[in-house]
Amino acid sequence: MRRSWNSTTAALTHPVGYAKMSVIEVCLVTTEMAVPKKKTSKSKKGMRRSHDFDTPVNFAICDNCGKAVMQHNVCKFCNTYNGRNIKTTARIEGM
């Protein structure tokens, strides 16, 4: 966008510069924001947001107790995995 030649642009090129302008005029001339040329359509907005979601957690049913457990993990209720009993060992402190 071309800015028309007016007193504010003339004051900017003036040897004194911003001294002839008030503080509000300087702020209005120097701060310009980026403005989109066209409205973002619903389709484009949806395509941009297509990756902004959480994937649902997949649960499996434990063969032993029938409760919902996370896949590929030991059942917290009966300590079995893939039909086998998994013994829990005490952790060694300091490791």
Total Cβ atoms within 10 A of residue 63: 14
Q: Which DSSP symbol is given to 50?
A: G
CA dist 48 and 59 (Å) reads 29
Structural domain for 72, as ranges: 55-86
Q: pTM of the entire structure?
A: 0.39
pLDDT digits (tens, 9 = 90+) for 1-57: 455 555 555 555 555 555 666 777 766 665 688 999 999 999 999 999 999 988 888
The verdict on residue 94 lying in a domain is: no
Residue 35, pLDDT score: 92
Over residues 74-94, the pLDDT tens digits come to: 999 999 988 888 876 656 666
Q: What pLDDT is attached to residue 2?
A: 53
Q: Three-state SS string across 10-39, please?
A: HHHHCCCHHHHCCHHHHHHHHCCCCCCCCC
Question: Considering the domain boundaries, does residue 65 fall inside one?
Answer: yes
71 Cβ partners below 8 Å, 6+ apart? 58, 59, 60
User: Would residue 49 count as lying in a domain?
Assistant: no
Considering its fold, how many domains does the chain have in total?
Answer: 2
